[in-house]
C-alpha cells in the first residue's frame, strides 16, 4: 500500500470510542478503514492458569471476573461442567433461581450494551437512562447475593442460598418499573432519524457468513437463524419456562440492536414466569464440603447462552481438589478478533465504535 495515501490510527486502549481494554490498529484512507488489526492482551490475567492451582470452589470467585457486564454465565457454565462430571443433580428450585439470576444478568448486560450503542453515536441520554435501570437490577443482586457486580452465587450443585422472603416481590417491582420505562427508550433511540441513518444497513452479514465465522448469540439471531442454547441445549430451568427466541432478517447494525432490545422484554418475561412457577424444596444438592470437594476424572464442555453469544467451559478433571485444566470459550474470542477485523474493512472511521458496540464485544473474553 502506498505510504502517502494511508494514515494509521491506534484506536484504543485509551480512546473514548473503544469498547473495553483492547486496541485496534486502523489503516485509513481518508475516512475509510482499509485494514484493521486487533491488539488484545491489555487485560490478560491468566485465569486459566490460575484456575489450575485453586480448588474447585475457589475458582467460583475467579470465573465471574472474566466477563464484567455479564458475570453469572461464567459461574453457571463452570458449575454445570462440574455437575456433569460428578453426576450431580441440581434441585428444581436451584435451577429456577439460576435461571432468574442468569436472566437478570442478561438484562443488565443488554441494558449496558444498548447504552454503549447510544454512547457510540453520541446519544448520551440513553446510556445514562439504561445504566440507571441497570442499577436497580444490581440492587436486586445485592439483596440476593450480597454482591453488586460479581455475585459468586451459583455453586456446583445449585445456588448457595435460598432467596430472601421478600425478594421475589422486589424483583417483580423492578421488572414492572423497567418494563414501564422501555417505550420511552425505544422512542428515544430506535425511532430517531439519526439512529436510522447510522444503524440501518451498517455492516450487514448473512447467516452463512456468520456461521462460517463463528458468530453466535444475538448477532447470529439478527441474521435470521433461530438458535438459542437456552432452547437448543436446555440448561437450568429454561425447558419449563416460557419465552420466544427473537430473530430478525436483516443482519445489519439495526437488527443487532433490535434483537438485544427485544431480548430485554423476553428476559423480563422469563423472570416473571420463573417467579410464578417457582417450586419449593432445597436449592442445592448434597455435596461434600468445599475443602473435601473432589471431582472424579472426566471432562465436559458446558455451554450457556450469554448476552453476547455462546459461553463455554471445557473442564478437565483428573480427580482431586483442583481442576486439571479449564478452557474458557468466550463469544468475543471470535467476534472481537477475526469477525471484527473483517467487518471493519471499508467502513468509515465514524462507524468503528458503532460496529464494535453493535457486536457487543467484551475484550475480557479474549484476555482471560
Is the C-alpha dihedral spanning 161, 162, 163, 166 positive or negative?
negative
The CB-of-192 to another protein minimum distance in angstroms stands at 6
The CB-of-125 to another protein minimum distance in angstroms stands at 5
Site string for another protein, 335-364 (x = CB under 8 A): --xx---xx-xx-xxxxxx-----------
Q: Tell me the CB-side half-sphere exposure of residue 365, using CA atoms within 13 A.
A: 26
Binder among 206, 244, 294, 297 for another protein (CB under 8 A): 206
What part of residues 162-191 is at the interface with another protein (CB under 8 A)?
188
Binder among 98, 106, 134, 198 for another protein (CB under 8 A): 198
What part of residues 50-69 is at the interface with another protein (CB under 8 A)?
52
| Full 3-state SS string of the chain | CCCCCCEEEEECCCCCCCCCCCEEEEEEECCEEEEEEEECCCCCCCHHHHHCCCCCCHHHHHHHHHCCCCCHHHHHHHHHHHHHHHCCCCCHHHHHHHHHHHHHHHHHHHHHHHHHHHHHCCCCHHHHHHHHHHHHHHHHHHHHHCCCCCCCCEECCEECCCCCCCHHHHHHHHHHHHHHHHHHHHHHHCCCHHHHHHHCCCCCCCHHHHHHCCCCCHHHHCCCCCCCHHHHCCCCCHHHCCCCCCCCCCCCHHHHHHHHHHHHHHHHHHHHHHHHHCCCCCCECCCCCHHHCCCCCEEEEEEEECCCCEEEEEEEECCCCCCCEEEEECCHHHHHHHHHHHHCCCCEHHHHHHHHHHCCCCHHHCCC
- The residue among 196 and 276 lying less far from another protein, judged by its C-beta, is 196
The CB-of-219 to another protein minimum distance in angstroms stands at 13
The CB-of-153 to another protein minimum distance in angstroms stands at 25
Binder among 63, 140, 171, 203 for another protein (CB under 8 A): 203
Binder among 44, 148, 173, 200 for another protein (CB under 8 A): 44
| Residue 9 binds to another protein (criterion: CB under 8 A) | yes
The CB-of-68 to another protein minimum distance in angstroms stands at 18
Site string for another protein, 217-256 (x = CB under 8 A): --------x-x----xx-----------------------
Binder among 68, 147, 167, 192 for another protein (CB under 8 A): 192
The CB-of-26 to another protein minimum distance in angstroms stands at 10
- Listed ranges 57-65, 104-112, 150-158, 201-209: which one lies at the site for another protein (CB under 8 A): 201-209
Binder among 179, 190, 314, 320 for another protein (CB under 8 A): 314
Site string for another protein, 14-43 (x = CB under 8 A): -xxx----------x--x--xx----xx--
Amino acid at each position: 500500500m502506498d505510504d502517502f495515501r494511508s494514515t494509521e490510527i491506534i484506536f484504543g486502549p485509551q480512546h473514548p470510542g473503544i469498547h473495553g481494554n483492547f486496541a485496534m490498529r486502523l489503516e485509513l484512507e481518508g475516512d475509510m478503514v482499509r485494514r484493521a488489526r486487533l491488539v488484545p492482551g491489555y487485560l490478560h490475567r491468566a485465569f486459566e492458569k490460575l484456575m489450575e492451582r485453586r480448588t474447585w470452589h475457589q475458582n467460583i470467585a475467579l470465573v465471574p471476573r472474566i466477563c464484567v457486564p455479564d458475570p453469572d454465565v461464567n459461574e453457571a457454565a463452570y458449575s454445570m461442567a462440574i455437575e456433569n462430571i460428578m453426576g450431580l443433580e441440581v434441585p428444581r428450585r436451584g435451577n429456577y433461581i439460576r435461571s432468574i439470576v442468569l436472566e437478570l444478568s442478561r438484562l443488565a448486560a443488554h441494558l449496558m450494551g444498548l447504552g454503549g450503542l447510544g454512547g457510540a453515536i453520541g446519544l448520551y441520554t440513553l446510556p445514562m437512562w439504561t445504566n440507571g435501570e441497570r442499577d436497580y437490577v444490581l440492587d436486586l443482586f445485592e439483596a440476593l447475593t450480597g454482591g453488586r457486580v460479581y455475585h459468586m452465587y451459583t455453586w456446583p450443585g445449585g445456588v448457595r442460598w435460598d432467596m430472601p422472603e421478600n425478594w421475589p416481590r422486589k424483583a417483580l417491582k423492578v421488572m414492572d418499573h423497567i418494563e414501564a420505562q422501555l417505550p420511552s427508550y425505544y422512542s428515544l433511540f430506535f425511532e430517531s432519524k439519526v439512529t436510522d441513518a447510522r444503524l440501518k444497513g451498517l455492516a450487514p452479514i448473512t447467516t452463512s457468513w456468520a456461521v462460517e465465522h463463528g458468530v453466535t448469540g444475538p448477532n447470529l439471531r439478527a441474521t435470521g437463524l433461530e438458535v438459542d442454547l437456552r432452547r437448543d441445549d436446555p440448561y437450568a430451568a429454561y425447558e419449563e419456562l416460557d419465552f420466544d427466541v427473537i430473530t430478525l432478517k436483516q443482519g445489519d447494525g439495526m437488527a443487532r440492536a433490535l434483537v438485544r432490545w427485544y431480548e430485554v422484554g423476553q428476559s423480563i418475561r422469563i423472570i416473571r414466569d420463573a417467579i410464578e412457577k417457582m417450586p419449593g424444596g432445597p436449592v442445592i444438592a448434597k455435596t461434600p464440603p468445599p475443602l473435601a470437594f473432589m471431582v472424579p476424572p472426566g471432562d465436559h464442555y458446558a455451554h450457556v447462552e450469554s448476552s453476547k453469544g455462546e459461553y463455554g467451559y471445557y473442564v478437565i478433571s483428573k480427580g482431586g481438589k483442583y481442576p486439571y485444566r479449564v478452557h474458557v470459550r468466550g463469544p468475543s474470542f471470535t467476534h472481537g478478533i477475526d469477525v471484527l477485523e473483517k467487518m471493519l474493512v471499508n467502513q468509515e472511521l465514524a462507524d468503528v465504535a458503532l460496529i464494535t458496540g453493535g457486536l457487543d464485544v467484551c475484550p475480557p473474553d479474549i484476555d482471560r
